[in-house]
Homo-oligomer: A and B are copies of this chain.
Amino acid sequence: MFQQITILGPGLLGASLAMAAKSSGLATRVHTWSRRAETRELSQQADWCDAVFDTAEAAVDGSELIIICTPVETIAPLLLRIVGHLKPEALITDVGSTKAQICRGIRGQLAANGPTFIGSHPMAGSERTGMAHARADLFQGACCLMTPEPEAPELAVTRLTAFWQALQMRIASVSPEQHDEIVAHISHLPHLLASALCGYLAQKDNNWANFAGGGLRDTSRIAAGDPELWQQIVLQNRHQILRAIAGFEHELDQLKNAVLSEDSAALTDHLARAKHYRDQL
C-alpha cells in the first residue's frame, strides 16, 4: 500500500503501528525518528524498523505516509517543521488524543498543492507508554476517529481510511471540534475521574489499598497513564472537558440526592440506567 512510511515518535502507539504495518504488508519500508537517543537505538534493533534518523526532516524524506506519534503539544509544530521536506503527494496523519487545537495550528499553513494533513485518533492504547509495550494487534477491532477538513482531497481520505481499515479498525469521520467533544466524554472525563479518585484515596489510610478488590483496580487503571502526556491532552481540550465534568457533576448530584433522601426507587432506577448503558459497551 505504501512503499515508505515514517513514524515520528515510536512509543507505544507508533511502534505498534510500525509492527502492524510491516506484518500486514501495508508498508515496505518503515523509517523512524525519536527525540531521545535511547529510543533511536532501540528502534535500530527492532525488526519492524528499516532506518532510524537523527532528525525528523531526514526521517520523512521520500516517505508517502508520515504518522506523527509524539505528545499532542508537539504535533502541530513538528508538522510545520517537516512539511517543507515532503513530496507534494505525501500524506501526513497523527495519533493525538486532541484535534481542535492541532488542526487550528495547522490550518492555512499548508500549500493547496502540497502535502495533505488528516487527523487520526485510534481509540486504542494502554495506561503503559513506550516501545517496550508495543504490539502488532493493538488496533484490531478498535475505532479510529478521523477528522478530515472539508477541503482534504478525496484520494487522501480514501487512502488513509483504507490504511486504518487494513489494521482492522472501525472508522468514523467527524470534525476536529466534534472529535474533541466526544473524547472529552468517553476518554478524558473517565481519565480525570480515575485520577481524582486515586488522588483522594492517596490521602487516606495507606493500608486500605491492600484491601481493594478488582473493582477499584479496573476503575482506576487509566490513572496510571503518563502525567506529562495527559496534562497536555487535558489542557488542549480543557473547554470540552470542563463542560463534561459539569455534566457529570450534575448526574452525581442527582445520585447523591437519591441517597440523601433514602429514595430506594430513584436509586435503583439510576443504577439500572447506568447498567443498561454499560451492558451495551
* A106 is an interface residue with CB less than 8 A from chain B: no
Copies of this chain assembled into the complex: 2
- Known contacts: A242-B260, A248-B200, A277-B201. The answer to whether A222 contacts B211 by CB under 8 A is no
Measured CA separation A143–B250 after assembly (Å) = 34
- Min CB gap A209→B, angstroms: 6
Question: Please, which residues of chain B bring their CB within 8 A of the CB of A190?
Answer: 197, 215-216, 219-220
Question: Please, which residues of chain B bring their CB within 8 A of the CB of A235?
Answer: 259, 262, 264, 267
Q: Is the CB of B216 within 8 A of A219?
A: no
Question: Please, which residues of chain B bring their CB within 8 A of the CB of A228?
Answer: 268
Q: Is the CB of B196 within 8 A of A208?
A: no
Question: Please, which residues of chain B bring their CB within 8 A of the CB of A276?
Answer: 202
Q: Which of A201, A218, A232 has the most CB atoms of chain B within a 10 A radius of its CB?
A: A201
Of B126, B245, B264, B277, the contact of A231 (CB 8 Å cutoff): B264
* A150 is an interface residue with CB less than 8 A from chain B: no
- Known contacts: A208-B186, A213-B142. The answer to whether A196 contacts B251 by CB under 8 A is yes
Q: Is the CB of B255 within 8 A of A192?
A: yes
Measured CA separation A260–B241 after assembly (Å) = 10
Interface size for A (C-beta < 8 A) is: 91
Residue in chain B with minimal CB distance to A256: B245
Q: Is the CB of B197 within 8 A of A189?
A: yes
* A132 is an interface residue with CB less than 8 A from chain B: no
Measured CA separation A252–B201 after assembly (Å) = 12
- List 6 tightest A-B contacts by C-beta distance, closest first: A227-B271, A198-B274, A123-B213, A195-B274, A202-B277, A200-B251
Given contacts A125-B214, A227-B271, A235-B267, 16 further A-B contacts (CB under 8 A): A145-B211, A170-B210, A172-B210, A186-B208, A187-B216, A196-B252, A198-B273, A199-B254, A199-B270, A201-B277, A216-B281, A218-B218, A219-B219, A219-B222, A224-B275, A238-B260
Instruction: List 30 interface pairs A-B (beta carbons < 8 Å), by A numbering.
Output: A123-B213, A124-B213, A125-B214, A142-B213, A143-B211, A172-B207, A182-B205, A182-B208, A183-B211, A186-B212, A193-B219, A194-B274, A195-B271, A195-B274, A196-B248, A196-B252, A199-B251, A199-B255, A199-B274, A203-B247, A219-B219, A220-B281, A223-B278, A225-B271, A227-B268, A228-B268, A238-B260, A241-B259, A242-B259, A245-B256
